[in-house]
Amino acid sequence: MATVIQPVVMCGGSGTRLWPLSRKALPKQFAPLIDGKSLLELTLDRLKLLNAEVTCIGSDDHRFMLDEAMVNCKVTGREILEPVGRGTAAAVAMAALLAEPDAMLLLAPADHYIADPKLFASTVAQGVDAALAGYIVTFGVAPSFPSTGYGYIEPGRVLDESKGASAGRTVAEFHEKPTADDAQRMLLRGDMLWNAGILLARADTLIEALENCAPDILASCRQAMQSGSTDGNFFRPERKAFESCRIDSIDYAVLEKYERIAVVPFAGAWSDVGSWSAVAAMHPADEDGNRLSGKAVALSSKNTFVHAPLRPVVALGTEDLVIIDTQDALLVASIHCLEQVKDVVGLLTAAGRTEATEHRRVARPWGAYDSIDAGERFQVKRLTVKPGAKLSLQMHHHRAEHWVVVKGTAMVTRDEETILLRENESVYIPLGVVHRLENPGKTMLEVIEVQSGGYLGEDDIVRFDDTYGRVTQLKKVSGK
């Protein structure tokens, strides 16, 4: 009987190297990058070739984006919601503790790109025997250039001579990100592998390894899981116990210390999508080395990457540039300065610019809102509400709202009234009135919202009822 593999996707992290597309409120794993799909969605599509029952581990702040990605990819399973980030060691510990002891877990980051999903699935299958024998199996990528941005794995002896190295070898040593000279030497050796950070192991093997190498992390996670709570598909570890867990990666906490680690080589294209140059490499180049995405155009240009999903962006006479266009921010950078993108985010954050951390379009469990325009004492938003979804029953102390339906049908609660609005109809919500907007139809509802008042911040909301468990009566909370 074939071993059932249970995929676990680690969805934490909020890197800044892909700003302005990736931001704290929309980390790179949730941002649409390839053919309108996010890296998380591509990961889920890849993993469901092994099993459509998937466990995802991510931030509580991103729970609804995580849930939406799972629905879009037609996968089911549990979602472990971290109250704070504690690194991959804690994520692996929680996944192992939640699973049955003999469960075969495949732990994969949500933000990697693998061009050949079928080759990946067959490579994972090659590691099952080693994992059943009590090894933690990692997957090493055959390097295509002397990268200084990846860690390396030095393979040891072959585990099964009858099957050869493809079935796995021991790990002789993990090497940190090398210098350029060391990376060149590793490439010339011919057997060194990039560390892809993907693991295959039985749950009880992982727990044993954590007990031996990081018992404090395991203890904190065990307490957090035992005292946690379940809300539908969401599992929330107990906050105080989880906060007591030290921050560490599974590599440092376990893999570099544990004796029974094996590596299986993966021969396909792989990237951790850690920079805009990595994103550019995922797009085909024209004869001048230009790589274009969306509505981008290049003329008399060389080695230029343009990401333009929303409007035409023309690169004219450019060379060695990266141009990233979003609704509210534009990045134009030399390909030689892309490592400094994170410094730009730091400067914008210090200046108090919301564009450093938030997009103009903000996802909500019921849909999204897009801040179209704003000025003194007014703000205009475009609300999109999913079929059957509804906003919280709420009230504002400092603003009034005017809703105009431009697409679909809206059901509006206004104090004791219930009003049905169709396209081109509108309603006024005075300051202090308890109200709610919902979509009773089967198509997307689009509403233009005009806010007016002395304070228009998203924290001016008192919620009295909410489908998504966000009620905080008589307290100000963030978001619609």
The pLDDT tens digits along the chain (480 residues) read 589 999 999 998 776 789 999 988 889 999 888 888 899 999 999 999 999 999 999 998 888 889 889 999 999 999 999 999 999 999 999 999 999 999 999 999 999 999 999 999 999 999 999 999 999 999 999 998 898 888 999 999 988 776 666 778 999 999 999 889 888 988 888 889 999 999 999 999 999 999 999 999 999 999 999 999 998 888 999 999 999 999 999 999 999 999 999 999 999 999 989 899 999 998 999 999 999 999 999 999 999 999 999 999 999 999 999 999 999 999 999 999 998 999 999 999 999 998 998 888 888 889 999 999 999 999 999 999 999 999 999 999 999 999 999 999 999 999 999 999 999 999 999 999 999 999 999 999 999 999 999 999 888 999 998 888 766 544 444 456
Residues 214 and 309 reside in one and the same domain? no
Whether residue 479 lies inside any domain: the answer is no
The distance of Cα 378 from the centroid of its chain, to the nearest Å, equals: 33
pLDDT, position 305: 98
Residues 320 and 365 reside in one and the same domain? no
Residues 93 and 227 reside in one and the same domain? yes
Residues 163 and 264 reside in one and the same domain? yes
Residues 414 and 340 reside in one and the same domain? no
pLDDT, position 165: 66
Whether residue 472 lies inside any domain: the answer is no
Q: In terms of C-beta density within 10 A (0-12 exposed, 13-18 middle, 19 or more buried), how is residue 260 classed?
A: middle
The last residue of a domain, from among 290, 325, 350: 350
Residues 331 and 390 reside in one and the same domain? no
Residues 73 and 121 reside in one and the same domain? yes
Q: What is the CATH number of the domain that holds 378?
A: 2.60.120.10
The last residue of a domain, from among 350, 371, 386: 350
pLDDT, position 316: 98
Q: Are strands 79-82 and 234-236 parallel, antiparallel or unpaired?
A: parallel
Which residues constitute the domain of residue 390?
361-465
Write out the E strands in 233-303: 234-236, 261-266, 270-271, 291-299
Whether residue 470 lies inside any domain: the answer is no
pLDDT, position 475: 42
pLDDT, position 466: 87
pTM metric for this prediction = 0.85
Residues 53 and 159 reside in one and the same domain? yes
pLDDT, position 118: 95
Q: How many domains does the chain have?
A: 3
Which residues, including other chains, have CB under 8 Å from residue 287's CB and lie 6 or more apart?
none
Residues 285 and 265 reside in one and the same domain? no
pLDDT, position 63: 86
Whether residue 478 lies inside any domain: the answer is no
Instruction: For helices 39-47 and 117-126, give the axis angle rounded to 10 degrees.
Output: 50
Residue 274 sits at the vertex; the CA angle it makes with 343 and 214, to the nearest 5 degrees, is: 100
| Exposure string for 422-435, b = 16+ CB within 10 A, e = fewer | eeeeebebeeebbb
The last residue of a domain, from among 271, 300, 325: 271
Residues 159 and 223 reside in one and the same domain? yes
